[in-house]
Amino acid sequence: MYSEVKERFENQEARKIIARHLVKDYILKEKKGLFVRRQKKVVHAVKDISLEIPQGKITGVLGINGAGKTTTIRMLASVIAPTAGGLTMNGVDAVKNHLWVKERINMISGGERNLYWRLTAKENLRYFGSLYGLSGAGLNEKIAYLLKIVGLEDAVDIPVERYSKGMKQRLQIARGLINDPEYLFMDEPTLGLDIVIAKEIRKLVLELAKKEKKGILLTTHYIQEAEELCDYIYVLDKGEIIAQGTKDELKELFMYEPQLLIQMKTPDNQRYKEFIRAVDEEVNKDIDIRIEDAGEKIKVTGGTDTWLSVLSLLMKHQIEVAGLSIQEPELEGVLMRIIDQSRGEGNEEKSICN
């Protein structure tokens, strides 16, 4: 297998995790009553997911609760086996060779679990390091280095139960890096953390991908986080990918263009009313102009040509403007629109891809 892997490594394209048509079904036993036999029910947690995680990039998986994010990440991390579909890591079958895969990956989850609370940070890391076959001075140096980069060098000998939530999360990141993984799976790593700690962790994640060239899969509920970190985003809903692309591609795909926001000075005078009528007659045929807050704000989408038409009408009608600004669309809006659109379309069009 070594020569096979070496050959594939020489090809940069092979340095990625590739999932093809992953499916995960669980069998649930439903309790119907005290004397009624339990019935089996198949739950399709993941229906058909194909994605790639290249090294040196942050791949985002977004979706609302129950979308299948955690099941997907657990399959990719070889914690659970897919019911169907293919999964390769650097060209090697990851389902058959899951122990080989486990040497090269690690997983970090949000929350305070996955650590031994009665042990100190150093003892936790020493234990998990030993499970990867590390020992002696090499392991001690690595522990010291990791505790330094996560900012816990002053709390190494304190039991984890005395740590704050943020400290526990940082220790989890150190644990996730103990085997120097090629790929890191992060399941909502900033869940429940305050802004300052979350920002520090985001910075660290970015450095891991860009400087240390680790392939990172990030699931998150925080759209801002995905927008700031992810190079490529998959949007999941009901166990399927309903959209994918870079954040800009997703915005473009869903026609979320920048908006020109015009703040009016005197929205209730005669000239303003004539301007609104003119906008309706001359401009508002193909583009979206929304008048908000009783006419105080006008939001104009579309390109610069549209904006120029509206501005020339403003000048023509001598409207006094209090302010002009351009608003960039947010990914959150795009995400909600993708999910709404996907659910609205039902089964007619299953996936929207760039």
Partner 1 sequence: MKKSLFVIKAEILKQQRHDYHSAFIWFSLLVWPILGFLEVYYSYKPFEFTGYMGMSNGKELLAFLGTGYMAYTCFWSMVQNAWSMANQERRSGTLEIIFLTPANRLAMCYGKALGALIQEVWMFCCFCLFILIYTGTISFSNLVMLPFIFLLLIISSTVWGGMLNTVFMFSRDASIIMDIFDTPMVLFSGSRIPVSCFPQWAKVLSLIFPLTYCINIMRFVLNVQGRKKWIGDITGLAVCLSVMIAITLLLMRKSEQHNRETGELQFY
Q: Which of 33, 133, 344, 346 binds partner 1 (CB under 8 A)?
A: 133
According to DSSP, the β-strands at 232-237 and 240-245 are antiparallel
Shortest distance (Å) from residue 135 CB to partner 1? 5
**Residue with Cβ nearer partner 1 (173 or 313):** 173
Q: Which residue is listed with tokens 């004397």?
A: 35
Contact call for residue 119 and partner 1 (CB under 8 A): yes
Contact call for residue 98 and partner 1 (CB under 8 A): yes
Contact call for residue 214 and partner 1 (CB under 8 A): no
What is the DSSP-derived secondary structure letter of residue 120?
A: B
Q: Which of 46, 73, 94, 115 binds partner 1 (CB under 8 A)?
A: 115
Q: Could you tell me if 23 and 48 are in contact, meaning their C-beta atoms sit under 8 angstroms apart?
A: yes
Shortest distance (Å) from residue 180 CB to partner 1? 13
Shortest distance (Å) from residue 113 CB to partner 1? 3
Among 128, 171, 168, 115, residue whose Cα is nearest residue 148? 171
Shortest distance (Å) from residue 147 CB to partner 1? 17
HEC string for 274-322: HHHHHHHHHHCCCCCEEEECCCCEEEECCCHHHHHHHHHHHHHCCCCEE
Contact call for residue 135 and partner 1 (CB under 8 A): yes
Q: Which of 90, 106, 259, 301 binds partner 1 (CB under 8 A)?
A: 106
Q: What is the rounded end-to-end Cα distance, in angstroms, of the chain?
A: 36
**Residue with Cβ nearer partner 1 (132 or 222):** 132
Cβ burial 185-214 (10 Å sphere, 16+ → b, else e): bbbbbbbebeeebbebbbebbeebbeeeeb
| CA atoms of 322 and 320, how far apart (whole Å) | 7
**Residue with Cβ nearer partner 1 (121 or 279):** 121
Q: Which of 18, 77, 125, 186 binds partner 1 (CB under 8 A)?
A: 77
| CA atoms of 193 and 67, how far apart (whole Å) | 22
Return the beta strands (E) in the chain as ranges: 16-30, 39-54, 58-62, 84-89, 92-93, 105-109, 183-187, 215-220, 232-237, 240-245, 259-264, 289-292, 297-300, 321-327, 352-353
Shortest distance (Å) from residue 57 CB to partner 1? 22
Q: Which residue is listed with tokens 């005669």?
A: 270
Contact call for residue 79 and partner 1 (CB under 8 A): yes
What backbone phi and psi angles, to 5 degrees, belong to 85?
Answer: 100, 170
Stretch that binds partner 1, among 125-133, 202-210, 240-248, 265-273 (CB under 8 A): 125-133
Shortest distance (Å) from residue 325 CB to partner 1? 46
Contact call for residue 73 and partner 1 (CB under 8 A): no
Shortest distance (Å) from residue 4 CB to partner 1? 19
Shortest distance (Å) from residue 119 CB to partner 1? 5
Contact call for residue 113 and partner 1 (CB under 8 A): yes
Q: Which residues bind partner 1 (CB under 8 A)?
A: 26-27, 71, 74, 77-81, 98-100, 102-103, 105-107, 109, 113-119, 123, 126-128, 130-135, 175, 179
